[in-house]
Amino acid sequence: MCQLTFLRGDPDVVRALLFNVSVINASGNTDGFGYYSFNTKKVFKTKESGKTFPYTNKFTELINRDIPANKNGKASILSHVRATSFWQGKDQTVCAAPSHPFQIKDLILAHNGTLYPKDDKDELKNRIDSYWFLKKLSDVVGKDTLLTDKHIKLAMDDFAGKFALLIVDLKQPNNLWIVRGRTADLHYSRFVNDDGEEVLFMINTDSSTFSNTIAPDFLRIIIGKNISREKGVVKEFQKESIYRYNIQSGKLYKMKTEIKEETHVVNSTYTRTVSRHNSYVGWVPENDVDGNEIYLNWTNLFGTVLRKCSDGLLTYSEICILYTLYIGKSIFTPVKIDMENFDKLLVHLNREIHKGRKKVWLEITDILLANNLDVIDIYKLYPKSLDFPWMLNSKKDLTHVKRRVIKDIAELTENKASEKEIEAIQ
C-alpha cells in the first residue's frame, strides 16, 4: 500500500509532520517517495529508499525551501511514499523512474492502488499504471481546458482496479482533486484551536496515523496552543466519490459525479498482481545515513516503548509529551543516543510503579475510552490532583482522580440527557 498524504497548515507543523506521516510512518515502503509543494509549485521525487534519504541534509534543505508560508500564513504539500506493485505476464512494465507524483503538462498526480487498462492498445510500454492513467486524463482534458470531475470519471472509464488519487491542475493551482474508489482507503481530519480556527487539515491513507502520530498533543507542543480534532475525529472519504479541496479557503466540496471501481478486466497483458510491501524494524545501519540519525518505524517504536513502560499503560500522546519534556526535543526526528536515554528513563520509571497504581490507571483509561475521551485530557481537567507523568503520583491521588472522572462523566451524561428532553419538549 502506497502512502498518500496532504497537509495544509502552519509551515513549521507541516515540515515536522511531513517527516512523521509521509516518510517515517510509511517508510517500510522502500520504492521511492516524492512531494508537490503548492507554495513553490515544485515537484520533487526520488527513487532512493524512503528508509534513508529523508535523513540526509539534502532532504532538510528541500523541505525548508519548498514549504514556506503563503499570504494566509499556510503551507500546503502533497506527498507520496511508494510500495511497488508489479505484474507477471508477457511484460513486466515498471518504469525506471517510478516515484510519484507524476506530471504530464499541467497535471500532477499521486496514486495508491493498481489500475489495469481495459484495452491492450492503451498500454504505454515501460510505464507504470499511474502514469498510464495520468496520460489518459491529460488526453481527455486537452490543452486549454480546466480539469473537472467529469474529466476524471471519463478517463477512469477506460480502467479497472483499485484507486485513491490526489490530483492537481496547475491551471487552477488552488484546487486539490481527491478521488476515492471502493477499496483503497483515504481519510481526512481537521485540527482546530480554542478559537475554532483551523490549525491543520490533513488527508492520509491510514486512519490510525491521525491518532497514533498526529495526536493533538503533538500540535500543542509545536505551537504552544490547545488543539483538538474536529467533531467526528477522523473521517473517511465516501467510496466511489470525487472531492475538491480549495487550499485558499480551506473548504472541502463533494462533487455530484460518481466514479465507479470496476474489478474485472479482459486483458491479455496481465495474469495476476503481486504487491510487495517491505518492512523494516530497528535502526538503519549508521553507514547508510548521516551521523547517528536513524530510521524510525513508529509502529514498532511505540509498541516497544508501550510494553516497557508500565505494561502499555501510557498513551501515544503521553509518550510523546514525556519524550519532549525529558529530552527537550520533538520526537519527530530523534537521534539514536536520545532514544537510548529515553529508554533508560522508561525502565527506571517502570521500576517505580506499584501494581496498585497500575490498576487504578487502567480503570481510569477504560472509563475515558468508553466515553470517547482522550486520556491526556485528565491532566488538563484535574491539574491540582494529577501531575504528569502519572506514575509519579501516589495511589491515593490516582484514586481521587478516578472518583472525579466517574462523577464528572455521570454529570455530563445527565446534562446531555436533559438537553435532549428539553429539545423534545420544544
Domain harbouring 248, CATH code: 3.60.20.10
Range with the largest mean pLDDT of 274-288, 358-372, 409-423: 358-372
**pLDDT given for residue 282 in this prediction:** 27
Most confident of 190-199, 237-246, 348-357: 237-246
Q: Which of 274, 294, 323 is the last residue of a domain?
A: 274
Judge if 270 and 294 occupy the same domain: no
94 and 205 housed in the same domain: yes
Residues 228 and 80 in one domain: yes
Q: In the prediction, which pLDDT does 92 show? A: 37
C-alpha cell at 325: 519534556
Indicate whether 311 and 259 sit together in one domain.
no
The range of the structural domain enclosing residue 186 comes to: 3-274
pLDDT band at 343 (very low <50, low <70, confident <90, very high): confident
| Among 352, 382, 404, residue at a domain's last position | 352
For residues 67 and 75, the answer to whether their CB atoms sit within 8 Å is yes
Judgement on whether residues 364 and 336 belong to the same structural domain of the protein: no
Residues 63, 211, single domain; the answer is: yes
Q: How far is CA 101 from the centre of its chain?
A: 17
Residue 323's pLDDT is 76
Q: Is 52 a member of any domain?
A: yes
C-alpha cell at 95: 518504469
Task: Let me know the angle formed at the C-alpha of 385 by 381 and 389, rounded to the nearest 5 degrees.
Answer: 85
Within 328-394, residue ranges assigned H as helices are 336-352, 355-370, 377-381
Give one word for 328, left, alpha or beta, with left for phi > 0 and alpha for psi -120 to 50.
left
Residue 160: strand, helix, or coil: strand
| DSSP code per residue over 317-341 | HHHHHHHHHHHSS-SSS-BHHHHHH
CB 368 within 8 A of CB 401: no
- Which 3 state secondary structure label does DSSP give 21? helix
Residues 64 and 134 placed together within one structural domain of the fold = yes
The verdict on pTM exceeding 0.75 is: no
User: Grid coordinates representing 68?
Assistant: 514556506
393 assigned to some structural domain? yes
pLDDT at 246 over 60: yes
**Residue 210 pLDDT > 60:** yes
pLDDT in tens, 91-134: 333 333 457 788 888 999 988 887 777 766 545 554 577 888 88
Pick the residue with more confidence: 203 or 327?
Answer: 203
Interacting residues of 14 by C-beta distance below 8 A, sequence separation 6+: 7, 8, 67, 75, 76, 77, 200
Q: Are residues 344 and 380 in the same domain?
A: no
Sign of the alpha-carbon dihedral angle for 118, 122, 125, 129: negative
DSSP assigned state of 288: G
User: Average pLDDT for residues 56-77, to the nearest whole number?
Assistant: 72
Whether 198 and 347 map to the same domain: the answer is no
Question: What's the mean pLDDT when you consider all of the chain?
Answer: 71
* Complete DSSP assignment for 98-151: -PSPEEETTEEEEEEEEEEESSGGG--TT--HHHHHHHHHHHHH-SSPPP-HHH
Structural domain includes residue 50: yes
Residue 281 lies in a domain: no
Number of domains composing the chain = 3
280 domain-assigned: no
- Tell whether 250 and 362 lie within a shared domain: no
pLDDT value at 236 more than 60: yes
Query: What does the pLDDT look like over 255-280, one tens digit per residue?
Result: 999 998 886 554 433 332 322 222 22
Q: Is residue 229 part of a domain?
A: yes
In a domain, residue 257? The reply is: yes
- 279 within some domain: no
What pLDDT is stored for residue 356 in this prediction? 80
221 or 313, greater pLDDT: 313
Residue 288 is predicted with a pLDDT of: 32
Q: How far apart are CA 50 and CA 24, in angstroms?
A: 8
Q: Looking at the structure, do residues 87 and 156 belong to the same domain, yes or no?
A: yes
Residue pLDDT, tens place only, 16-38: 777 655 544 444 444 567 788 89
Q: Is 278 left (phi over 0), alpha (psi -120 to 50) or beta?
A: beta
Domain boundary among 333, 352, 371: 352
Mean per-residue pLDDT for 213-238? 66
End-to-end CA distance of the chain: 51
9 and 55, same structural domain? yes
Q: Are strands 33-37 and 42-46 parallel, antiparallel or unpaired?
A: antiparallel
